[in-house]
Amino acid sequence: MMKPNFKNLIEFKRPLSEFPLQWRFKDPDFDQLAPDLLAQLIPLEEEAALFLWSEINQFQFYKGRSLDPQLFKEYDQLQATDSKAQEIQMWLDKRRIPGNQLIALSWEATEAMLLPWAIFVEHYACFWYPSSDDLTIFDLKLSWVLDWSHFGLLSFGRK
């Protein structure tokens, strides 16, 4: 049986309808992403989500619960709760990440997803909810990490 790794994660896709957080993207009471955007979301099976969770915990990017600035060549922070949507999107754009780059989002041990960076930047409010979400975002080469805490602090580090 195949085990998840960074090269085969896409093979561990599960239907969006089976993803516990799918309401964030499909429910008219929250956000409804267009069908062409929904088609680009790749919710991961629990086994793949657990693999990512394990990798996050082995990153050695953290000091306590926050990213350790000493470990990165590039480091930046933004307090998102004090910022408007346009400011957050501009801050995310400054990360110089190609819009079509596939990124991983991990909410917790069993909930993770792959999607293009541009969708995340444009619709970040679907993916991160203040006060409830601790969200870790990273590329599949582990060259950068974005930590978005439930209290609104966005921390970005690039190796």
Q: Is residue 98 part of a domain?
A: yes
pLDDT (0 to 100) of residue 71: 85
Q: Is residue 18 part of a domain?
A: yes
105: domain range? 9-158
How much of the chain, in percent, has pLDDT values that exceed 70? 91
In this prediction the pTM is 0.90
pLDDT (0 to 100) of residue 119: 96
pLDDT (0 to 100) of residue 104: 97
pLDDT (0 to 100) of residue 139: 93
- Structural domains of the chain, count: 1
Q: Is residue 81 part of a domain?
A: yes
Q: Is residue 61 part of a domain?
A: yes
What is the per-residue burial (b if ≥16 Cβ within 10 Å, else e) of 16-48? beebebbebbbeeeeeebeeebeeebbbbbeeb
Q: Is residue 4 part of a domain?
A: no
Using 50, 70 and 90 to split pLDDT, how confident is the model at 70? confident
When mean pLDDT is compared over 59-63, 108-112, 129-133, the highest value belongs to 108-112
pLDDT (0 to 100) of residue 132: 67
Q: Is residue 37 part of a domain?
A: yes
